[in-house]
Amino acid sequence: MSGSRSNETSGLNLTSKDLPASTAGITLIRFEALQVPTVWESSYRCGDGDINSTDPLQFVQTVSPPAVSLLVRDVQPADAGIQIAIAEIRRYCGGTVPSAELAKAFDLGDLITSNWPAQLPVRCPS
């Protein structure tokens, strides 16, 4: 997976990270504090994957559109639950988190089904 962020107002690319290919899991990426609104874009660099893989992310392709998020400094009351959930998931860095806990914390029950592994690795690259 490849990700980059840029200053929304200047379009200047500030940071780029490439993460190694991995199975389904959680990857928490830490950056310095934001000073201005920032666009974060992530996409996959897919090779010739095993089409018989049981990986629930096997549907992702290089041609899939990138995920784009706007990161802002101001915190809204509605963000508190997500911030708490991320802090809780961070406790599992280097280990695994139950998929059911993740589904509940982020309201992903309709996406994380019984086809997913019961435990997901939590990766926290430096």
The pTM score is 0.69
| Secondary element (H or E) of residue 40 | strand 38-43
Contacts (Cβ under 8 Å, ≥6 apart) of 73: 33, 34, 35, 36, 37
Burial of 8 (0-12, 13-18, 19+ CB in 10 A): middle
Model confidence at 121, pLDDT cuts 50, 70, 90, reads very high
Give the whole-angstrom CA distance, residue 66 versus residue 12.
18
Model confidence at 17, pLDDT cuts 50, 70, 90, reads confident
Cβ neighbours, 10 Å, residue 99: 20
Could you tell me which residue, 35 or 57, shows the higher pLDDT? 35
Q: For the chain, what is the domain count? A: 1
Mean pLDDT of all residues in 99-116: 90
Tokens of 71: 């990161």
| Structural domain harbouring 47 | 2-123
Give the whole-angstrom CA distance, residue 57 versus residue 25.
10
Beta bridge partners of 43: 2
Q: What percent of the chain has pLDDT over 90?
A: 27
Whether the per-residue pLDDT at 37 is higher than 60: the answer is yes
Could you tell me which residue, 117 or 15, shows the higher pLDDT? 117
Whether the per-residue pLDDT at 23 is higher than 90: the answer is no
